[in-house]
A and B are shown apart, each in its own frame.
Chain A
Amino acid sequence: MLMTTLMIGLVLGGTYSLAALGMTMQYGVARIMNLAYGELMITASFATFVLFSTFEINPLLALPAVATGGFILSYVIYGLLMSPLAKRASDAGALEVDSILVTFGLLFLLQGILLVIFGADFTSYTFLNTPVEIFGVVLAANRLIALVAAVVLGGGLYLFINNSRWGRNLRAVATNPENAPLVGIDLERTARTAFAVGGMLAALAGVIVSMFQTFTATAGVIFTMKALIVVIMGGVGNFMGALLSGLILGLVEALVSSYIDPGLTLAAVYLIFLVILLWRPQGLYGKG
């Protein structure tokens, strides 16, 4: 019983970590709190669904194409909506408020488009639903993919950001945007690329989630909230923090739902979030 709960929690947590990686990139480097993040994930889920059910394209093969789509879409969104705001903003606070309001509008826009195309029904498809046994616990293969992808991507990004030249630019912009241009870093280009990579990660998460979870056109908000909770728990811009917090959140949900009351899982999530926000707004692993 406990082992099963723990495994379910870890797999669930993998999904949350995966969803949070892109958001921590967008908020940490590009300084855009993207409230339409979950809608981007759901858009990717629907794209995968259409590719699979209409054109019979394997979701694992669709993954690179949909991820590229997420990159391009986010790149364009940054250029059209965020970049004028960043130029107009007198200080970081003004950009924060403006970007929240604009991505808020984007949330409704994307959700509305999805509703018009796909309706409000629950959608799902069956793929890789083969049972796999680990530590005596039987899990579906498609769920395990989420955990593996989160660990590989999270660890990979962490290493990449800490060891590559591009990663150094990102860190410079994230920690000190005023002085980064002094050492020859193009602020606008770095922010735009970071935002686009964040969008790509959101699309990746959307593809993987669609393999094992039913989704609706209006489910984006829940993903945005969970990703946000993970990002803030882990410390903004901290990939390792996001990975660990996501797993913790998944474990908490699994434990609450099997030992306390399934009706209280979401309440527990929000409670943890509010407490952490008040106690350590810089995040569990953040400096401050």
Chain B
Amino acid sequence: MFKVSYLAFALISGGLFSAPYILDSYGLGLMVGIASYVGLATAWSIFSGPTRYISLATVAFYGIGAYTMAVLGEHLAYPAILLVSLLIGAVLSLIVGVATLRLAGVYFVIFSFGLTELVVQLVTWFEVNVTGELGRYIFLELETRHIYWMLLSIAIFTLLISWGIKRSRIGLALRVIGDDEMVAKHSGIHITNIKLILFALSASIMTLIGAVQAPRWVYVEPSIVFNPVVSFLTVIMALFGGSNRLFGPVFGVIPLFLLFEWLSANFPNHYSIILGILFIGIVFVLPRGVLAFFEENYAKISSRIGRNTAEGDIK
């Protein structure tokens, strides 16, 4: 059973790499978006799924990655920039993490949102007053398919990390923390350290995704790369799929990303209304995500069928 799913995962991943040879440029553009959000939502779930800390700082790290690419684009070799952005993401998230992880619940949510706004204000101020220009251009000889292959690799790598964590001792510790922090503390789990590592890991991946995706914009300015909608979509996609499951975010990203693309193309004026209704609907109808919903209902249906056949046997 497990061998089959490994094989399926390898085959599907392999198939996805050949997408640029099959799809037209519009289709490839969609795949780039999906790969990027699968990476973001999975990275988000690595930290927020088990700890239940709702982070709205996704776009802060994603935007910092994109800006790193824009600033260093013409000064450093491409792989070196990716490495630098990964390091910046790791260092920043460790600093932020040390400062904030003792906040819980709503305070953490608001802090992560405020942090993003602070970063936007500071970057804007710096660009206007120090460099004198708000926008930057990114000229790199990268085609869409190169960006797609990199984003796909990051997404698959993130899924593998998430899978590794779930199978490790840390994963077990995380489940205890998620269930009851007090119990976790008393059984000798270093809660703060584990949270910090996961937060930094998750944020570094987000920064890298931002850096890889930056050349797609060509022109970059704070309001584009730090668009808070990225944070919101990441949260809603991860929750829709179910942030406690390995493939939950994937199952959230694919339908929602396509839906949002379709909505913004066909109902640009009502986009926000529909996004709002979806958000509310997901909290009410699918509080634990679409995967959990199907599993629960599948169990219910199959147990009903089982009962019926059992009754039939007695007769």
Interface residues of A (CB under 8 A from B): 27, 33, 81, 84-85, 93, 96-98, 100-102, 104-113, 115-116, 225, 228-229, 232, 261, 263-264, 266-267, 270-271, 273-274, 277-278, 281
Contact = CB atoms under 8 A, between A and B. Distances in A.
Given A107-B276, A111-B272, A225-B117, A267 B122 contact: yes
> Chain A: interface secondary structure?
helix
Contacts of B100: 278
Given A97-B52, A105-B280, A277-B111, A261 B125 contact: yes
B115 interface: yes
Given A101-B279, A263-B125, A277 B273 contact: no
Interface string B39-53: 000000000000010
B170 to A, nearest CB: 22
Given A112-B273, A266-B117, A104 B125 contact: no
A277 B124 contact: no
Contacts of A27: 106
A101 B283 contact: yes
Contacts of B5: none
Contact of B279 (A102, A232, A271, A274): A102
Nearest to B239: A101
Given A93-B105, A108-B273, A270-B114, A102 B129 contact: no
13 contacts: A27-B106, A101-B239, A101-B279, A101-B283, A105-B275, A105-B278, A106-B276, A109-B272, A228-B110, A261-B129, A267-B122, A267-B125, A277-B107
A6 B315 CA distance: 88
B99 interface: yes
* A-B interface, 9 closest residue pairs, ranked by CB to CB distance from nearest: A105-B279, A109-B276, A112-B272, A108-B276, A112-B273, A105-B280, A267-B121, A270-B118, A105-B276
Given A97-B52, A281-B103, A81 B280 contact: yes
Contacts of B99: 278
A263 B272 contact: no
A238 to B, nearest CB: 16
A31 B272 CA distance: 26
Interface in B276-301: 276-284, 287
Given A270-B118, A270-B121, 15 more contacts: A100-B54, A105-B276, A105-B278, A105-B279, A105-B280, A108-B276, A109-B272, A111-B272, A112-B270, A112-B272, A112-B275, A261-B125, A263-B129, A270-B117, A277-B114
A145 B56 CA distance: 36
B189 interface: no
Given A106-B280, A266-B121, A267-B122, A100 B273 contact: no
Contacts of A278: 99-100, 103
